Amino acid sequence: MGPSTLREKFKRFRILIIGRANAGKTTILQRVCKTRENPEIYNGAGEKIDPAVLMASREVGDVHCGWQHYSTSFQRGEHDIEHEMVFRSNPGFVFHDSRGFEAGGHSEFDKAKAFIARRSKRGRLNARIHVIWYCIPMDEDGRSFTEAEVKFFSQCDTGSIPVIVLFTKFDALYDDEFAELISNGVSRKDAEALVPQRAKEAFADGPQLKLLYSREDNQRPPRCHICLPDMDKNDADCGPLIERTAEVLDDDTLKQLFVSTQRTNLELCMRYAVEW
């Protein structure tokens, strides 16, 4: 089945993104769709919703990371997980957003759990959730797993929907490695070059992955995880996220649909085209 036939039959690839407030979810979606614009939002009937109705306020905060400094912003307001978010730069994707469960406690978790159950059993493939991206920020206030993350992976039955954990703001971990290198007499230039790999190695032996994959009561551990640093930068690379998402899709039709939506990773498209 060719790309045009796939898109005509199944319309769009559907992703549920979950994460705490200020986990960088919107930034990730913008990077995937290669845009700085906010998404257009539609209700369950396909009617476009005025974003002003949903966004009650805009908050801006500063982030300091060793030698770097940047600003982040996020919007919060009335929210419905059933709303569909579509970016004009890549309408092949439709996103659903679940607020972090700390925002609404048991109520928010129950809504997400019910939504996943409904959308995993829809008869029409294009109405189902095809993958879940669960965002966990690695900035200083968010490195430890909260009760929300533990609750999701121990109590939420995601069925056949693959879950990928996105460790966002991973560059926040560079600060400790940078300070240690400097204290050991490494030049600032060399330290900047070394910290990304050192942070990955330290993280691989850290508590987060042990909790994610080895906790006894994890009913549905994720298929995989990915570390995403520097998503605030204009040249941020979401290629690894796109590739890992394609890899975890078991259904060949879904894999083809996902790859056919790509406008940012031509190498991936070519590789799968050759395989098929």
pLDDT of residue 76: 45
DSSP 102: G
Q: What are the backbone angles phi and psi of residue 61, rounded to the nearest 5°?
A: -140, 155
Range of the domain at 27: 3-53+74-171+222-256
Structural domain contains residue 61: no
CA distances from 187 to 174, 191, 192, 198 (A): 15, 6, 9, 15
Q: At what angle do helices 147-155 and 105-119 cross, to 10 degrees?
A: 30
Structural domain contains residue 276: no
Q: Which of 50-54, 129-133, 150-154, 219-223 has the highest mean pLDDT?
A: 129-133
Number of domains, the chain: 1
CA distance 103 to 123: 31
- pLDDT bracket for residue 95 (50, 70, 90): very high
Structural domain contains residue 48: yes
Q: What token pair was written down for 54?
A: 């949903």
DSSP 197: H
CATH of the domain at 154: 3.40.50.300
Structural domain contains residue 193: no
Structural domain contains residue 180: no
Structural domain contains residue 158: yes
Please write the tens of the pLDDT for every residue from 14-62: 999 998 888 899 999 999 998 999 999 998 788 898 867 665 434 444 4
Q: What token pair was written down for 27?
A: 């930034």
pLDDT of residue 71: 43
Average pLDDT for 154-171: 92
CA distance 81 to 132: 13
CA distance 236 to 225: 18
DSSP 184: T
Structural domain contains residue 106: yes
- pLDDT bracket for residue 216 (50, 70, 90): confident
Structural domain contains residue 23: yes
pLDDT of residue 253: 83
Burial profile 136-154: b = 16 or more Cβ within 10 angstroms, e = fewer: bbbbeebbeeeebbeebbe
